[in-house]
Amino acid sequence: MTPFHIHSAYYLEEEERKEKEEKEERKEKEEEEEEEEEERDKAEEEVERERVRGGGGREREKDDKEEEVERERG
């Protein structure tokens, strides 16, 4: 092999290595984003369940206060 061929082979190997690293980084980033999205979805589902159950949020407290005021008036 001539020095040119050696350099070209090294360059190609280096490019392949970089592409592989970039691909792995993209894959890891996508996995992290999917995990974050799943966590957000779970949190939203939990909030919705609590709201449906009437689980003590601000809305529930507000409704309780309104009912109390109505009882006092009527």
pLDDT band for position 21 (50/70/90)?
very high
Measured CA angle at 35 (ends 30, 39), to 5 deg? 145
Q: Is 5 helix (H, G, I), strand (E, B) or coil?
A: helix
Tally of structural domains, the chain: 1
In the predicted model, is pLDDT for residue 52 greater than 70? yes
Query: How far is it, in rounded angstroms, from Cα 44 to Cα 74?
Result: 38
Parent domain of 49: 3-73
pLDDT band for position 64 (50/70/90)?
confident
